[in-house]
Amino acid sequence: MKLISIVVPCYNEEESLPLFENAINDVIKQMQEEHAELAFELLFIDDGSKDKTLPILRKMALKDKRVRYISFSRNFGKEAGMYAGLKNAKGDFVVVMDADLQHPPAFLPRMYNYVKDGEFDCATTRRVSRQGESKIRSAFARLFYKIMNKISQTEIVDGAQDFRFMSRQMVDAILDMPEYNRFSKGIFSWVGFKTQYIEYENVEREAGTSSWSFWGLFKYSLEGIMAFSTAPLSVAIFLGGASCIASLPMLINAIVKSSKTSGILCAVFFMGGIQLCCTGILGQYFAKAYLEGKHRPIYIMRENEEIYRSRHQAAGV
């Protein structure tokens, strides 16, 4: 028997979950008809949802033994959810996918065909269009991938997603990266392994709303750049050097024309700006190192299906 774990991070997904449950069960059935050796577990991560996500998961877990869940003590973010899922998944293969059906379950049989014989360690989808997304968001996303791939050795494919079908070896490699500031798109790429990309058109959310604001995505992209590149630190050195050189003609000018207040002011502002900018960049890296140094847990579990089932049983007796 081969076990496939399907990890699903959920944050306020009460509307999507019933749709997801139906869709995934159809695909599981289809895959089991084709491959008799397959068994499945569904591992939902409730990332501190404020709606009925947890009660829905509890019900699903009582009804279906293949359903497991981990409920966090608060919202830790999707990255923490994915990490918790990978860490607790028991499968020979692990799938990570969103609950909102933007990662269509219908891809799973194809993905399995790529990884089942070890030809690939990972199968994933790549959006070739950003249909249904605002123009500004798409433009910034493109810019992010451009900058990222220029300044970091870790290549991040434009349109690559967190929808992954991975072998146990790859999952274990990812778990060996217990960093606190997680940027999965970078981590998936950094660990290497053979990855097959399946291209597809963007699908819009089935229900509910995206929990990403523009500002949230912007901060997340900075997180990605800082986690996988130290190039901004070199920018600081470059800016410092360039401003030193630029100040030389000013100095000569000041000596020749016997100092002008405006010249001095200009130089002071210029230098001050660059220094602040560089200190800021340094500070950001320092802050990340500080957080890593604390070795805080990436997530905290409040309840899982085992706790709930035994509580339910005890209440029933």
Q: Quick check: 16 binds Mg ion (CB under 5 A)? A: no
Binding mask 210-239 for ligand UDP (x = CB under 6 A): xxx---------------------------
Provide, rounded to whole angstroms, the least separation between the CB of residue 219 and ligand UDP. Answer: 13
Q: Quick check: 9 binds ligand UDP (CB under 6 A)? A: yes
Sheet holding 195-200, edge to edge: 195-200, 122-127, 160-167, 93-96, 2-10, 38-46, 67-72, 301-304
Provide, rounded to whole angstroms, the least separation between the CB of residue 11 and ligand UDP. Answer: 3
Binding at 78: pick from Mg ion, ligand UDP, none (beta carbon under 5-8 Å per type): ligand UDP
> What is the Cα Rg of the chain in Å?
24
Q: Quick check: 88 binds ligand UDP (CB under 6 A)? A: no
Q: Quick check: 75 binds ligand UDP (CB under 6 A)? A: yes
CA distance 205 to 232: 35
The residue range among 4-12, 65-73, 98-106, 256-264 that interacts with Mg ion, by the rule CB under 5 A, is 98-106
Binding at 99: pick from ligand UDP, Mg ion, none (beta carbon under 5-8 Å per type): ligand UDP
> Closer to ligand UDP at the Cβ: 80 or 278?
80
Q: Quick check: 91 binds ligand UDP (CB under 6 A)? A: no
Can you tell me which of 41, 98, 121, 305 binds ligand UDP, judged by CB under 6 A?
A: 98
Provide, rounded to whole angstroms, the least separation between the CB of residue 209 and Mg ion. Answer: 9
CA distance 289 to 36: 48
CA distance 163 to 111: 10
CA distance 132 to 100: 15
Q: What is the torsion angle, in degrees rounded to the nearest 10, for the CA atoms of residue 52, residue 54, residue 56 and residue 60?
A: 180
Q: 76 Cβ partners below 8 Å, 6+ apart? A: 47, 48, 298, 299, 300
* Residue 71 · residue 303 · CB < 8 Å: yes
Q: Quick check: 47 binds Mg ion (CB under 5 A)? A: no
Q: Quick check: 21 binds Mg ion (CB under 5 A)? A: no
Can you tell me which of 102, 161, 229, 304 binds Mg ion, judged by CB under 5 A?
A: 102
Q: Quick check: 10 binds ligand UDP (CB under 6 A)? A: yes
Name the nearest CA neighbour of 11 among 170, 164, 205, 172.
205
Give the burial string for 237-254 (b: 16+ CB within 10 Å, else e). Answer: eebeeebeeeeeeeeeee
Q: Quick check: 100 binds ligand UDP (CB under 6 A)? A: yes
Chain positions contacting ligand UDP, by CB under 6 A: 9-11, 13, 47, 75, 77-78, 81, 98-100, 102, 210-212
